[in-house]
Amino acid sequence: MFSRIFLSTIPSSIKIVSAVTLRNSKECFGLQSICCIPSTNLVTKYRTYSDHINPEEMIVDYEHVKKATSANNILIVDVREPDEIKEHGKIPNSINIPLGNVSTVLSTMSENEFKQIYNRSKPCEDTEIIFYCMIGKRSGMAQQNALNLGYKNVKNYLGSWTEWATKGN
């Protein structure tokens, strides 16, 4: 038996994928090798986010970041590559975790290893974490990675290094 996959949305925040069994493979566009997969019951739910999250609360501006540089309870993370930081500079009291390492560091690195490498305590799920990069794009991806790992207070500094540097810091 073969199946054809249909994608439907029920309700608007949860996507459900279901498989409908066909009588024979010729019903699947008349070809056995295109779009036919073994029959299975596929149900996939995508993560839903609380309606209480305000997108504006997940973005911070220059003034917020400037204050955060002197706050020990806020972690500022630069997700650029080390060579970029050497060339351009960094925001004071920030740590460097390149984008490709963010998920691994936040999910599997031990508290002791994190403290040894970054000289800061590993953030807990409620710690405010501010991500930045050069222009705010990679930091947005890092923010999404952290949200997917269960961190609840992650922010994106959209102005990132470009804005910080133009403000004369």
At 100-150, the pLDDT tens digits run: 999 999 999 999 999 999 999 999 999 999 999 999 999 999 999 999 999
pLDDT at 27 over 50: no
Catalytic residue among 28, 35, 36, 133: 133
Contacts of residue 153, defined as CB under 8 A and 6 or more positions apart, other chains included, come to 125, 126, 127, 128, 129
The per-residue pLDDT for 10 is: 35
Q: Which of 39-53, 69-83, 125-139 has the lowest mean pLDDT?
A: 39-53
Q: Name the band, by pLDDT with cuts 50, 70 and 90, for residue 57.
A: confident
- Reply yes or no on whether 133 is catalytic: yes
Is pLDDT of 56 > 90?
no
- Buried b or exposed e, range 140-159, using 16+ CB within 10 angstroms: bebbebbbeeebebbbbbbb
- Delimiting residues of CATH 3.40.250.10 domain(s) in the chain: 55-166
Instruction: Sheet containing 128-132: give its strands across.
Output: 59-60, 154-157, 128-132, 74-78, 94-96
List Cβ neighbours of 69 (8 Å cut-off, separation of 6 or more).
Answer: 76, 91, 92, 93, 94
User: Can you say whether the dihedral through the CA atoms of 118, 124, 128, 130 is positive or negative?
Assistant: positive
Q: How much is the pLDDT for 98? A: 98
Cβ–Cβ under 8 Å, residues 33 and 41: no
Number of Cβ atoms within 10 Å of the Cβ of 21:
11
Q: What is the pTM of this model?
A: 0.69
Displacement of CA 146 from its chain's centroid (Å): 5
Its CATH architecture, for the domain 55-166, is 3-Layer(aba) Sandwich (3.40)
Distance (Å, rounded) from C-alpha 142 to C-alpha 131?
A: 7
